[in-house]
Structure 1
Amino acid sequence: MGKKKSSNTSSGVVILLIGAVALIAAIPKEVWIGAALLAGVGIAVYLYSKSKSYRSPAVDERPSALESRPATRPEVAPQRVAAHTIARFSEVDEPVSTGAGQGRVSAFRIPAAPKGFGQASWVPPGQSVDVGGVTIPGGMVYVGTKLQTPAGANDPCLIDPSKSVARQGDYTERQMGYWPSYSEISGGARRAYLNWLAGGRKGPEADIGYVFLFFYGLERRAIIDATKDEAARADWPAIAAELRRLLGIYGDKSGSFRGYAAALLDWVALAEHPVRLYEKPVLSFPKTYELPLYVRLALGQAAVDGAPVPVHLALAWARLEPNIYLRTPATRCAAEFEQLFAAKYAEAFGAGMVMPRNRTKLKLVYRPASAGFRGYDEFKLTFRETPDVTVLTAPVKKLQEVVEAATKPLEPFSRLVGKSPEAKDSLEALLQLPAPLWPDRAKKTLQDLKTSMGDGMVAMPFQDLLSSLGAKTAFTKDKTISLARTLESANVGLEPDVLAGAKAPKPEDKVVLFALPPAEPQSRVNGPYLAAALTLQLASAVASADGDFGTKEMSHLRETVLSWNHLTPSQTRRLLAHLRLLMQAPASLTSLKKKLEPLNLSIKETIAAFMATVAQSDGVVAPAEVKMLEKAYKALGVDAKKVFSDVHAVAAGVTPTAATVAKVEESGFKLDPTRVAALQRDTEKVSALLANIFTEAQERGEETAAESVEEEPGTEPTESTEVAKGLLGLDEAHSALARMMLSRPQWSREELLDVAADLDLMLDGALEHINDAAFDTHDMALFEGDDPVTVNAEIVEKVEA
């Protein structure tokens, strides 16, 4: 019985279990979920109550680093998990109560959020910040998780530490779109950007997108923040310096960046509307498709004040004016060009060019690069009634003429430096420059020479002259020609006249330096001068025949030269210097014969008679002079027997006999002084005759040369003069209008009418012509609308690039 009861009991248990399972299975799932939640809450309440009633003596004796408590009372350590969670999101490090137990209160400070989280902060110039394990030196960036724009998104420039950063990144690779934003680029691009910043923002191979991403922050600080924050305005000088540094690295790489950076430089330079800007030094700006507004304002203020444009402003204008092309000599030899520009500008305008006051008014509408500016009102600067004088074309043409006048003299020096940059400071290079551009040491040497000669002349061995100027090597003919040219630019003449084809002197030969009248054009190849020089050469050959080119003969020839009124002052001085050389080295009849061959016999006989006069200028005809006259007559192709008849006729006015000829051959004879004086009056007639001959010969030579102009072999071609191409291939006036339009995103019709009037253009026809050119060049319009006229932002990018 007992066993059966037990069996029944077991069966009952099984039946109950099966029923319980069935009952449980019948309960809906939602009931189970609710029960589980209630159980969880109960367990949490139980554990919480147990923790409040529990105290650990060991913890009381070792306080937590996160606690802030009195030193005399032990406290309960907070839970580490809770502290970590608070530290993640708290921004204020303030004491917070966490409850009490058994009459005691435990308090601790909630740690601040990790550095960089929360509202963005501007890192000032010169400071460093750590982001993603990278230290960024130099500051000038925004760091944080929140820097909203009017559109609601974070500013593209914001460096958000909560964004993921890859382990590696290469800033030389293109990894972002046209409008980059730090929050939206990839983790690899963020790492690349942080690496570029950490490297000092100077990697020349960096993709320009990273440069723009950094530029967006400068743009925001300089314009948006500065409108309401004085500290931001105080950052303008540092921002300007950084922009110039970046332009030096990336300006040539991206025309777009160059244009935007130049516009921001304009803003920080002009936002305070400085007065009389034309009196201040011009800041550094890159050359873009439009003249910097800083320069335009300075010129406009000068026009309003009626003040001349000073040379420093004119030079900056010439260098930055898009319609002026600076040739290679002006850019390669910038310092020398600057000095010559100043001299030529003063020659042309004295104190400076006076600008007209035109109708177009100056205005700056800032065109931001960053998408973070979307939603803000237009940022603009106006300058009351200050005109934009650069819309005019006439002043630019005048400036271009000065630029070319300053560039042309630098061509030889520029070519030499282009071939051998290391020779820039050599004497060879020095001689390619006008004397006013010489270094101080060479200028002093030249001044000492000018002081020693005064208004006269000084003779010295050629080597002495070279040594005084610091020559280290032998001088070739080309170098000697360069020296003569340079000396002449300093109003110092050199004989022998190598610039007119004379043989270059040897180091031991004598040369004569003489003062040239300032501001007088040098004319040494015209007929009167050539005739006078030949006359002196013939006369010196005869006068020195007796071995004694004496004082009387020298005095006679000097007076003869001074009596030739048909010569210029510089020609007279050069002839006197030439005569000084002829005293020491008289001309050779053999060399003169070639010059005299083209003359007909009657002219040759006239010249021969003049030589007879010169031979008797001292009142005595020596036998050696008679023999020399015979040689001269033969060189001229005149019968040598006429020497005696001409000399006797000069002396006595009678036909010579055999006895008188023999007497002349033996001992010579003395002349009647009155007869000599009469003969001397014929000198100028002979010179005038020769002048006509040489003038005709010169004209024939020039005609022949013009028929066959050919570059000499081995010479370097002259650097051609180029002009800046008009914008969109337009002519000067339409190009100026197009450039002006590109300076703002929008124009009123009234404003454009003023610009067109300044350029003498009909507005509607000009606008149509400009848009046609834009379609031909870039397949898009430059502007749209009638009033206002809106400039196409896309074509601005293409023009800048």
Structure 2
Amino acid sequence: MGRRKGGSAAGTGLLVVLGLVFAALSALYRFIVENVATIAVFGTIAGLLLILWYFFSKLESRKSTAVERPVAVGQLQIQLPAERGYVEPRVHFGSRTRSAAGPGNARWILPTETITVQGATIAGGLFYLGTGISFEDREIDEYVVNPQLSAKSAKPDVDGASMPYWPSYADVAPAARRAFLEWMATGRQANPYGIGHVFLYFYGLEHRVFVDRDVASTPAVIAEVDRLLAVYGDNGSFRGYAQHFLEYARCAAGLPLPVPEPSSDRSYSIESPPVLLHLGRRLAQSATILSEDALIWVLALPDVYLRTAAVRCFDEFVPLWHLRFRSWFPEGLRVATSGNVDLTYRAASGAFEVSVDGPHRDYPDVTKVKTSLEPLRQLLQECTDELDGFSRLLGRRPEARNSVQAALLLPEDLLAETGFEALREFGKRLSEIMGSKQLASTKMDTVLQLANFDLPEGGKLSPAAADQLGQVLDRLDIAIEPDRRYGGGVPQPDDQVFLFNAPRGGPVDPERPAYRSTKAQVEVAVLAAAAGGEASGGEMQRVIADIKEGADLGGVERARLISFAVTIFNSPPKQAKVLKRLAERTAAEREAIAKAAVAIVGGNGTVQPDEVRFLEKLHKALGLPKERVYSELHKEVSPSDEPVAISVEQRQAGIPIPKEAPVSKPDAVLRIRIDAERLARAQRETAEVSELLANIFEEETAPAPVETPVAAAANSSAFEGLDQSHTELVELIEIKGTVPKLEFEERARAMKLLAEGALERINDWSFDRFDEALLEDGDEIVMAPHLRARLSELRETA
């Protein structure tokens, strides 16, 4: 029972509770039904108030981003105006773009602070600490050090192998965070750590300068990136991003950028801040640019490429550019642009892209140029072309860069502008041997040694090398004689040469009639003086006196002719070669030459038989009658009471002597008496000896042996000018290279040739074609090695 009474009480209580709840709901229902209009009005008013509060709060938030933001610099407060100086950054995340809000709960750690994170004590600051940097609809946590994230690892990822290309502190593994914190704690300079840790730290520095725009922190951040660049600059990726950051950060801070230096590697582009700001600043000052800035500009153009000559010879290219630019554009190059510089920084982290403010906004933008830059491109190519020869020499012989030969391959005005060490040294040495008289007589090998010229094999100086030496001396305003360029021969190392001061090397016109005629007279006078034996000093003085008296000769011409006369008096030229050239002279020149020769021979008062024979040969070469020799000698020889000895009888066995002609009486008009018998005898002897030496001195050759059609065609085409016998001698030595003198004489004798005459004949032919002797006489007959290829070329051409 008792149990029944208890159960009844519990049920009664439950019924009472349910009754009360029902009564309350009924009352509420009746209240709503009775007051529905009042409730609706109240709800509407409350909703409107909530909407107005929301809009007012948003408006207040936007105003707070536009007011002037104070930034502390030391004890000063700098106000950053919202109107022009501050541009709201746009932040990019993948393909989405959001406006950045003010700083979130992360804060910037100053350089003076020391922070402990996950057991790592970090001094020096310059990073963000917190959970993230808040933006309107997200937080940036990529480069924020979050102390709440785990950094526990028994093996830190020092190399950063687990880090992605764009590392994020929030996303990397704890092992990578541990390595990053340890790198920060050890001064951020330990090389074993991977470059991913450096980039993770670098991203925060970017944010501080370009998003926070903290002017006070910028110098310290720039210094820190400079330090990182010194430590990790070997990494090409980091070096590129760091240099890019430094350029833009200095612009943002109003710090000066280094002036770009022209270089052969063209390490900067037209869009890089140093180039844009430097050229823009110049154009802001003046619309005309000069050579220095024009070179910076043209080397920065994306479609300009330096050829090998400009790269290899860049030290010579730069001064040559300045010379040619001043020639092309004496007043400079006027340039017009269509806009001003506008810099945009793209973060290495990929998190944002911002416009960089600064005074550069007032500079003309050279990437928006309206003036054609084609003249600059053409000028660059012209300068490169001028250095092609110099570049090729350096490509073959890099050690010859400072040689006098190299100087010849550079433009003269460039050498005058910059100087050339090898030329200066050569000129200094020449001045020492020339002395105060500015004149020197020395051996050719001495000059070659002073110029550091290398002699070719065999010790024979080629015409090309002689011309090259002459060109070097031209640059030093020194003349050399003999000089092949002005009608002289090629002086060999043991030959005497004269050096004297003359502007641009004393050029003359070797074909000017007065100069050419006098030079021919000098040559013939020397041959005439040497015909009777060695020339005397008195004969040389008479020749020099005649040169000095030449009224139609210039000063440099006289100097060259006197030097020429002295050298050939010491080393007379080949008689046949001189006589051969005389046939090309004019009638007036031939008359003057003959007169000069007779004057030298008759000037001694005693005429030798060899001298008479030479004069006869000379008159024949000049196309003048031999009979004039004797009449002219009568006029030149001084009168005497005794007969003048014209010749001495020298009988030679085996030579038939014709019957003597009747002795004729001296002509009444002669001023001196001549032994007619001796004169006739000398004439006979001269004719006989001339016949013996025909193969040496005569231009005509003996009848050649009959040749087969094939041989005749080969000889007439390949070695035109040589007959079959002389051609066979050339081919003999060409095959062997060297032939004993005795063998050469035997072979010549078998061909009915005199060995000496054949040798001279072949060398005369060689001079006509190669400007130098083909064969060298001595105990052995040697062919010039470098001419063997020329003989082959003659055959190939034929």
User: Please, what TM-score do these two structures have when normalized by structure 2?
Assistant: 0.48
User: Please, what TM-score do these two structures have when normalized by structure 1?
Assistant: 0.48
Larger RCO (CA under 8 A, 6+ residues apart): 1
